[in-house]
Structure 1
Amino acid sequence: MEEGVSITKHSGVYTLKAQQTIPLSMEKAWDFFKDPNNLSRITPPEMGFKITSSIDRMAYAGQIITYKIQVFPGIHVSWVTELTVVEAPHFFIDEQRFGPYAMWHHEHFFEDFGNETTLMHDKITYKMPLGILGDAVHELLVRKKLRAIFSFRRKIIDEILS
């Protein structure tokens, strides 16, 4: 897959895949992504992203992170994720424990691309709540919003890490 975002659906479950090259060694890229506080830096400002839990350590398996996000203008929701697997500096996985999706499983992979370059892969497997109504909202709003989030991330990661 070229750099970009693809979203597919099978048996009611969506899969988003994205990848991006980062002009840093894998270890330096990991140093940025292992800090949960950097998530707010790579999230579009209009989402009103705010971590509400105390972050006292870098990413570790079992870490619970709570935050608020704006899903629609004026509508904020709480989201709770758990880092279920952390294998520095190669990958980590976060899963929604409570939030706007019926299911959310996000895999982040880092691959040494040589010459101080890292290839970052994201794979998100998610399910919308509310059955066919949720799927309709996905087609009308969520798909576009997720693409916009990853487009923003691509741009801001290039700016911050270049």
Structure 2
Amino acid sequence: MKINIKKQSGIYTLTSEQILSISLEKAWEFFTVPTNLDKITPKEMDFKITNNPPEKTYLGQIITYKIGILPFLKSNWITEITHFESPLKNETRKGFFVDEQRFGPYAMWHHEHHFEETTNGDVKMTDIVNFKLPFGILGDLLAGFYVKNKVKFIFESRFKILEKLFNQSK
């Protein structure tokens, strides 16, 4: 498991890498179905998509959620797909999409999802999440440690869930 989180200029950056023992086509098909986010988000987050997105992700798509940010405290969250490049339509066999927060609990949220076919036919999946807390230095002092660890927990949990879904035969 490769998960790294750092902070620079008030912005946290989490990077997560995982090799999935599936084809690029299968990975892209799974991760571009918005409702599959429910399957890979830890239950503790009490995550729920609140609009009814189409079956496939597309450029400009808006997805709305409710997410538990603290015990007994839920937040509305709205993201937009701002970039979308299918790895199935180019020679490099690399692709990505980006979701950005439009409204929600963060001052900034920019999440890149990268997919690349490896030489042995597996998929290297890389997530890069840049986020900033609201309320500047005060928000950082009051909640920085907690939120940083919560985001890290989400991706550690996601890693384990994806291992079970796609890498059981390893």
Task: Tell me, yes or no, whether TM beats 0.5.
Answer: yes
Classify the secondary structure of the residue corresponding to 2:161. Answer: helix
Structure 1 position 122 matched with structure 2 position 127: yes
Determine which of 147, 151, 167 is the counterpart of 1:146. Answer: 151
Letter of the 2:23 counterpart: S
Deviation (angstroms), 1:68: 0.2
Counterpart of 1:156 in structure 2 is 161
Give the whole-Å Cα distance in 2 for the aligned partners of 1:120 and 1:67.
Answer: 24
Deviation digits for residues 19-39 of structure 1, max 9, x if unmatched? Answer: 101001111111100001000
Q: Report what 1:53 is aligned to.
A: 51
30-39 vs 82-91, greater mean Cα deviation = 82-91
Partner of 1:28: 26
* Unaligned runs of at least 5 residues, structure 1: none
Paired amino acid for 2:118: F
Could you tell me whether the CA contact under 8 Å between 2:14 and 2:152 is conserved in 1? no
Letter in 1 for 2:71: P
2:109 paired with 1:111 = no
- Over 3 Å counting, the alpha-carbon distance change for 1:135 and 1:30 in structure 2 is same
Tell me which residue corresponds to 1:133: 138
Structure 2 CA distance for aligned equivalents of residues 56 and 111 of structure 1: 25
Shift of 1:102: 0.2
From 28, 36, 40, give the equivalent of 1:42. 40
Kindly provide the amino acid, as one letter, of the partner of residue 62 in structure 1. Answer: G
Deviations 1:4-61 (A, max 9, x none): 2111111111111111010011111111000010001100001110000111230100
Q: 1:138: Cα distance to partner? A: 4.1
Residue 93 of structure 1: SS of its match in structure 2?
strand
Equivalent position of 1:68 in the other structure: 66
8 Å CA contact 2:101–2:110 kept in 1: the answer is yes
CA RMSD of aligned residues (A): 1.1
Matches within 5 A, 1:77-92: 77-89=75-87, 90-92=95-97
Which amino acid in structure 2 is aligned with residue 124 of structure 1?
A: V
**Corresponding residue pairs, total:** 160
Identical-pair percentage: 49
TM-score of the aligned structures, taking structure 1 as reference length? 0.94
Match of 1:9 in 2: 7
What amino acid is aligned across from residue 145 of structure 1 in structure 2? K
